[in-house]
Each structure stands twice: as structure tokens, then as C-alpha cells.
Amino acid sequence: MQTWEAIRSRRNVRSFADRPVTESDLDQILEAGRRSPSSQNWQPWDFVLLTERARLRELSTVWKGAGHVAESAATIALIAPAEAEALRRAQYDLGQATMSIMLAAADLGIGSCHSSVGDQELAREILGLPKDRFCAFLVSLGYPAGRPLAPIGVPDRRSFEVVVHRGGW
């Protein structure tokens, strides 16, 4: 896909086909996250990739809205410093890494969905995180069950005219 086509095609996918994602595609998606913009080139992230079904099912229990993780082909956990001020500062960078991961996946025809993490202790145990790290977000990946990714002609979004203000509010 071209960039604009990937942006128009990307949507949250919560139901995945029973089909693995190749290691080379996962590496490309992870590389997109690694290359994301970062304030002062800080790069506050680490990524933990899970593909084992039993562990994905465990990981899906760390947040009430993370059920899509259980049946994903793979899930990337975005890890950040646990110290409160560093974590606050890292949020924008983590958002950019999340979107880079999701767009790279869409470019490959791979669906994605993001999730928060509520139970940090369980996430730490499942992922084997050190005490000075925090699991900020999860991004599930897999081929969409049902309809494949394709450009969305009329997205379910506020209209361009309502959102865009030129020259001031």
C-alpha cells in the first residue's frame, strides 16, 4: 500500500483469522515502532512481542477491553519507564510508536487494535518486566476475520469541516 491508502484502510480490528503473521512482517512492524519520532531522541520504549496462544490469552486479562488480544496472531506490549514523571513525559512518544506500528501493519494488510493495561502486576508477571518498567499499551495484530483491510470511503469520524479550523478557532 501507499501511505495514504494505509491511513485510509487502518481501522481497529478485534476479530482475527486463525493465520500467523510471518516473522519478517512482525520485524518490519516492530522496526516501524523503533523508528518512531521521539522528543529529544529519547526513545523511552521497549517492545515485548508475544505470539504464543496461552500467553496471549493470559495477557488479554490485564484490561477489560483487551479481549481481542486473546485471539490475535501476535501482540506487542509497549513498555516505558515506571517512574511517574518519566512515564508522563513518554506518553506522546508512546502514542507515536503505537500509530507507527498500526500503520506499518495496515500497509501489510494486517489488522491491529490498541488497548490500555489496568492490571500492571499481572502484565509485569506475564511479560517478565523489571520493576522499573511499566506496560503502557498493547497492540494486537492479525489478519482480519471477515473483511480485509481496504480504504474506508466514509469514515465514522466528525466531519472535516467541523474538525479543521483555519487561522484560529
Q: Which CATH class is domain 3-148?
A: alpha beta
Q: Is the dihedral of CA 5, 117, 48, 94 positive or negative?
A: positive
Tens-digit pLDDT profile for residues 104-155: 999 999 999 999 999 999 999 999 999 999 999 999 999 999 899 999 999 9
- Predicted TM-score (pTM) of the model is 0.96
DSSP 71-89: T-SEEEEEEEE-SHHHHHH
Reported as a pLDDT band with limits 50, 70 and 90, residue 34 is very high
